[in-house]
Amino acid sequence: MLAEINSIADLTAQYPTEKDICHLLMDEDLLHKTAKCDKCGNNMSLRSRGSSYEWRCRVSKSQDCSSKSIKYGSFFKNTKLTLTQATKVMVMWSCQYTSSQISKEVGISERTTCDWRNFLREICQKTESTYGKIGGNDHIVEIDETNLHSRKYGVGKGTNEDWIFGGIDRESGKVFMKRVVNRSASVLVPLLQANVEKRSVVYSDEWRSYSQLKRYFTDHYTVCHKTQFINVVGTRRVCTNGVESMWSRLKKPFKAANGTSSALLDSYLSEFVCRENEKDDFFQSVINGMKIS
Ligand SMILES: [Zn+2]
């Protein structure tokens, strides 16, 4: 199983050749297992070509009717990378190696690595769009906003200040996160309703946009960060430590990479949300998003 591979050493030991990788990707439904000839409609056969395979429709021993790439109709159809190289990129990216580590190990340009990371984050965006609301009956959902500084794409100097709004369900650990144009109630409240079950109990700080949340959710409690870390209300210990530690997990890689481009921020947020929500199944969820339809 590809999702169980979590190092290049494992991959190389278990699937040493390009052909081994081909069969692995076929078993995972990342490559087609059969092909039909575009000219005559007959079933094509898998033939060796160099270190890899291609699909061929044979008329006779010496003549082909047609041939097509092993990558046809797959996520890999437009890449010049070998399947081994592409698989290495996927494994390393899922293990959160940096772009320069990936480029060096796989022997590809940083530009190509960057393109691949973009493709893979697009899969996360699709996966994220399938997620339902977080929270539920008496689930506590902590919410908060934070800002991120990102580089403006194609502009030499200056940074954007992007406000990010998000929440975490204490029961399930599931999160949501969105970039917002401002922190007004008219922006935050509808987003909250779209992403958090109304039967949830919401914890937040005392930001004024949150003043009416009792109307929309089972209950709402606040903690005043100027004076306290925890607001004790009966048996409840109201705090937003969960969402604050989510922000520090979000920001860590941005700090390491010295910020990110504002244009790519949404896809970085999607990748983060998928990693948080899928946990150990993250790589499998990306593989599922790459399957041939
Ligand atoms: Zn044919």
Rounded to two decimals, the pTM is 0.92
Q: For a pLDDT cut of 70, what percent of the chain falls above it?
A: 96
The per-residue pLDDT for range 65-124, each reduced to its tens digit, is 999 999 999 999 999 999 999 999 999 999 999 999 999 999 999 999 999 999 999 999
Is 70 exceeded by the pLDDT of residue 259? no
Is 60 exceeded by the pLDDT of residue 220? yes
Tokens for 22? 């081909």
Domain boundaries, the chain: 9-82, 140-284
CA atoms within 13 A on the CB side of 246: 28
Cα 49 to Cα 110: distance, rounded to the nearest angstrom: 28
Tell how far the Cα of 62 is from the centroid of ligand 1, in angstroms.
Answer: 14
SS3 260: coil
DSSP state of 134: B
DSSP string across 184-246: -HHHHHHHHHHHB-TTSEEEE---GGGTTGGGTSSEEEE--TTT-S-EEETTEEE--HHHHHH
Tell how far the Cα of 56 is from the centroid of ligand 1, in angstroms.
Answer: 8
pLDDT at 156: 55
Buried b (16+ CB within 10 A) or exposed e, 274-285: bbbbbeeebbbb
Strand partners, 231: 238
The per-residue pLDDT for range 144-195, each reduced to its tens digit, is 999 987 766 555 556 678 899 999 999 999 999 999 999 999 999 999 999 9
Cα 21 to Cα 16: distance, rounded to the nearest angstrom: 8
- C-alpha pair distances (Å), 228 with each of 31, 125, 238: 56, 37, 10
Is 90 exceeded by the pLDDT of residue 254? no
Tell how far the Cα of 65 is from the centroid of ligand 1, in angstroms.
Answer: 4
Tell how far the Cα of 292 is from the centroid of ligand 1, in angstroms.
Answer: 23
pLDDT at 227: 81
Is residue 109 within 8 Å of residue 79, measured between CB atoms?
A: no
Tell how far the Cα of 68 is from the centroid of ligand 1, in angstroms.
Answer: 11
Tell how far the Cα of 42 is from the centroid of ligand 1, in angstroms.
Answer: 6
DSSP state of 34: -
Tell which residue, 83, 74, 80, has the closest CA to residue 112: 80
Instruction: For 140-284, give the CATH class.
Output: alpha beta
Strand pairing category for 63-69 and 52-60: antiparallel
